[in-house]
Amino acid sequence: MRRQRSCAYGLGLALSIVCMAALPSRADEVEKFYKGRTVTLLVGVSPGGGYDLYARLLSQFLPKHIPGGPTVIVQNMPGAGGLRLANYLYSAAPKDGSVFGTFSRSVPTVPLFQPSVTFDATKFTWLGSIARDTSLCITNGVSPIKTWRDLLTKPLSMGGQGVGTDSDIYARLYRSMFGAQIKLVSGYPGTRDITLAMERGEVDGTCGLSWGTIKTVHSAWVTQKSVNFLLQAGLEKDPELPDVPLASDLVDDPEKKKVMHLYFAPQAMGRPFTAPPNIPADRKAALIKAFDDTMKDREFLAAAAQQRIDVSPMKGSEIENLVRQLYATPADIIAKAAKATSE
């Protein structure tokens, strides 16, 4: 009897192994989905700026790390400073792993301050970030506003994109925190449009241009010293900008520092990429792995270096944790932060 049970068990195990071998693995299913497919990478601003540049670089090297080697095409979806894209990815985009995007690092926290914005950034499928960054408040070299102290006494106009972007958030924040004499001219589709307006004299500058963008797209500004760097926004000074004041260092009030932390912490995300919520788990894992592998790809790193693009990656799990921490901010601090940028 014992021998019969052993034989029966052995036969059952063998059949199970055969059946399991006959079933396609999850990796095979992912490869089957992506093989011959076109994946869309959406950019929440107009062409020509930093987010667009990073997205187009990623699109060249990501496909070889995705099972099945799909084609990745870049499409721009500007609107409301990236909120249009964030809302689309959250609610309307296909949730099958065929669409992902990038938008302003400040967009994920907008729902905390704007009740009318209803997406929940903790539910996005965060893939990762190519680089951490620092946001700068700058003026054209011919502007009479040369330093951050000039902001306090001389009126100026600053270009902005929309409620979810650094340019608008920081212009309003500096008015509230420091009494800066800033007139915000918002509605530009992207930073490229703002810098062109600055060069034409339509605005004095902007309070939300990334240091990474300046180094890659506007390197002549640095070598020719044709712009003024007034303030930098971040949790700590960028080592390449030791002489530019860190905005949070200019306040002593503990509550003001907490408000600034809430707005400056997203700078760590730099250039975030995310897919819609609730995509299949195997495709989610494949996209995250593909992103991580691309960040170590020698050809990708060489191309980034050639274009003077910073690569200091942040994993998707790190972005997810940061967003969750920001969403756990006490309500009273959120209320104060919302008021600080409401006018």
SS3 160: coil
Confidence of residue 26 (pLDDT cuts 50, 70, 90): low
| Predicted confidence (pLDDT) at residue 23 exceeds the cutoff of 90 | no
To the nearest whole percent, how much of the chain has pLDDT over 90? 86
Confidence of residue 162 (pLDDT cuts 50, 70, 90): confident
Q: What is the mean pLDDT of residues 264-271?
A: 93
Residue pLDDT, tens place only, 57-113: 999 999 999 999 999 999 999 998 899 999 999 999 999 999 999 999 999 999 999
SS3 195: helix
The larger pLDDT score, comparing residue 25 to residue 266, is at: 266
Q: For the ranges 122-131, 234-243, 278-287, which has the lowest average pLDDT?
A: 234-243
What lies within 8 Å, CB to CB, of 227 at 6+ separation is 138, 139, 140, 141, 205, 214, 218, 221
Structural domains of the chain, with CATH: 28-132+270-340 (3.40.190.150), 135-266 (3.40.190.10)
Q: What is the mean pLDDT of residues 108-124?
A: 95
Q: Which of 311, 337, 276, 219 is nearest to 96 (CA)?
A: 276
Confidence of residue 164 (pLDDT cuts 50, 70, 90): confident
| Amino acid at the residue 62 | L
SS3 194: helix
Residue pLDDT, tens place only, 144-157: 999 999 999 999 99
To the nearest whole percent, how much of the chain has pLDDT over 70? 92
The total of other beta-carbon atoms located within 10 Å of residue 311's CB is 17
| Residue 163 pLDDT | 83
Q: What is the mean pLDDT of residues 180-196?
A: 94
* H/E run at residue 214: helix 211-217
| Predicted confidence (pLDDT) at residue 294 exceeds the cutoff of 80 | yes
Q: Which residues of 16-25 are buried (b: 16+ CB within 10 A; e: fewer)?
A: eeeeeeeeee
| Residue 55 pLDDT | 98
Mean pLDDT of the chain: 91
In whole angstroms, give the CA distance from residue 134 to residue 221: 17
| Predicted confidence (pLDDT) at residue 254 exceeds the cutoff of 50 | yes
In whole angstroms, give the CA distance from residue 300 to residue 304: 6
